[in-house]
Structure 1
């Protein structure tokens, strides 16, 4: 392993300065914090939207926007994960992410959705990936690249439904409100057009953490939690966080090596990035989003 130059301590710090989409306190009806109230809401969601699924519930996490539970079923069936959203738009966004990524990228399986309760039933994956393996950084880069290119593998009907979010369509549309540099944002999209095709939906913004890389009992490794993935953010945001995530997991790779891993992984998925074009795109992304540092990835 090589030592990184000025690598941030956490993935959150890696994105210092990034234009924020919502201010603190934006959600009028946040998820309750009381455990009893949370469990009651989870039981109500199962009864209303997931008939036949029952069992002992335990709270995995409770945040402002969402709560996650394990459903321990009494019939000996595998446990499931129940996720409840407080915000309808966040639920719709995660449902869209699963629609785009299930079958096209290595992510946790979606079992069912509940529109009325804004709930998702997901595969239960308690086993972490083996971060002691020297092959894990390349595996993570490959999984991230698979998400970024998932739209190129969509069946015809799904691809048609995403026509409004392709690189070509976004180039012709106004820049999103969260972008601070519209001209630089168009440079980012133009770089993606050159690296992929007009039909790419530039998915990005995975919530990358070491604990979100999980292993199935059979050995397959998948990404957990695609809640924050969005079309229009692009995968560059995830590339920028990769050095920090790897460092947290004990792999202190130099930024140049992380860039190489991402280049190799995206090339395997059909991309035409070069080292220079990817660095140019990263600089444009920083200018478009008010990002303060690329942590050596552009050098």
Structure 2
């Protein structure tokens, strides 16, 4: 994989095939339709929020806007989902992570419009420092291990989302035995109370800085075990190269092992490499880019 490869390209081969028309009401494809949907979401679910709306990004399944409110109020991020399951997963993830991991704050959710109001973090992180690979690995590890730090009542409430409740391999998994090996490795590393969190859509622009200097992640969702946080580990080397850090896969793996160990996970170098190989086999991922070498 070359230095120009993106995090998305690092996941070549990892694809769940969805049937045509799987999403009944996709996001509008035109900017005017998207802005209309954003205004409707504010009016229906967040009527006290007023301000100028600007489209930031749009996909088939979701759209992101900034809402620039009049002073002295801060701007907000409005995220709209077209898929109810994705909305539920992201809402759950932010609820879990608000006090346990460095992610943007969730201020409000709107079930009618499948919307989230999030903290606006306009300042990008400074990637030039040599400590940034460690910082990014720490941030990713904090998300992956967040459910290990939940209070008892939250663990009880989320029993249905725990790793121990994993269902049989879904149809898109190409090797069910390898899938079982991935789940077994996670059970050994985290225990049965893990709620899978991750799928961070890692890219340099998704690492932001608060005014106090704290580095935060954007974009997170809860996961089923058939995806797992390994998807983020596979993309880490590509993200770091995109940001100008030439770093070996072995070093990336070491940073992740150190960070997750400090937060309660029980991965070893061997068990993590074994899980990565099984993950690639189970999902059709074409390359681990040296991580399991």
Report if TM-score (shorter chain) is over 0.5: yes
2:53 partner SS:
strand
Say whether the 8 Å CA contact 2:3–2:242 is kept in structure 1.
no
1:195 and 1:52, CA in 2 relative to 1: closer, same or farther beyond 3 A? same
Query: In the alignment, is residue 236 of structure 1 matched against residue 230 of structure 2?
Result: yes
1:25 and 1:254, CA in 2 relative to 1: closer, same or farther beyond 3 A? farther
Say whether the 8 Å CA contact 2:200–2:218 is kept in structure 1.
no
- 1:139 corresponds in structure 2 to 135
TM-score computed with the length of structure 1 as normaliser:
0.92
Shift of 1:231: 3.1
- 1:103 corresponds in structure 2 to 99
1:45-60 matches, within 5 Å, as 45-60=41-56
User: How far apart, CA to CA, are the structure 2 residues paired with 1:168 and 1:57?
Assistant: 42
User: How far apart, CA to CA, are the structure 1 residues paired with 2:17 and 2:147?
Assistant: 24
1:293 partner SS:
coil
Identify the match of residue 121 of structure 2 among 119, 125, 129: 125
Shift of 1:165: 3.1
- 2:257 corresponds in structure 1 to 263
1:59-118 per-position Cα deviation (integer Å, ceiling 9, x unaligned):
111221111111111132111111111222221121111122211111000010011111
1:8 and 1:159, CA in 2 relative to 1: closer, same or farther beyond 3 A? farther
1:35 and 1:7, CA in 2 relative to 1: closer, same or farther beyond 3 A? closer
1:240-276 per-position Cα deviation (integer Å, ceiling 9, x unaligned):
1100111111111110000001001101111121111
Say whether the 8 Å CA contact 1:7–1:243 is kept in structure 2.
no
- 2:30 corresponds in structure 1 to 34
Query: In the alignment, is residue 198 of structure 1 matched against residue 224 of structure 2?
Result: no
User: How far apart, CA to CA, are the structure 2 residues paired with 1:8 and 1:294?
Assistant: 16
Shift of 1:144: 0.5
Query: In the alignment, is residue 156 of structure 1 matched against residue 149 of structure 2?
Result: no
Query: In the alignment, is residue 43 of structure 1 matched against residue 39 of structure 2?
Result: yes
- 2:71 corresponds in structure 1 to 75
User: How far apart, CA to CA, are the structure 2 residues paired with 1:151 and 1:177?
Assistant: 27
Identify the match of residue 226 of structure 1 among 217, 220, 223: 220
- 2:173 corresponds in structure 1 to 179
2:8 partner SS:
helix
Of the structure 1 ranges 108-117 and 182-191, higher mean CA displacement relative to structure 2 is found in 182-191
Of the structure 1 ranges 101-110 and 67-76, higher mean CA displacement relative to structure 2 is found in 67-76
- 2:204 corresponds in structure 1 to 210
1:24 and 1:213, CA in 2 relative to 1: closer, same or farther beyond 3 A? farther
Identify the match of residue 86 of structure 2 among 86, 90, 106: 90
TM-score computed with the length of structure 2 as normaliser:
0.94
1:263 and 1:67, CA in 2 relative to 1: closer, same or farther beyond 3 A? same
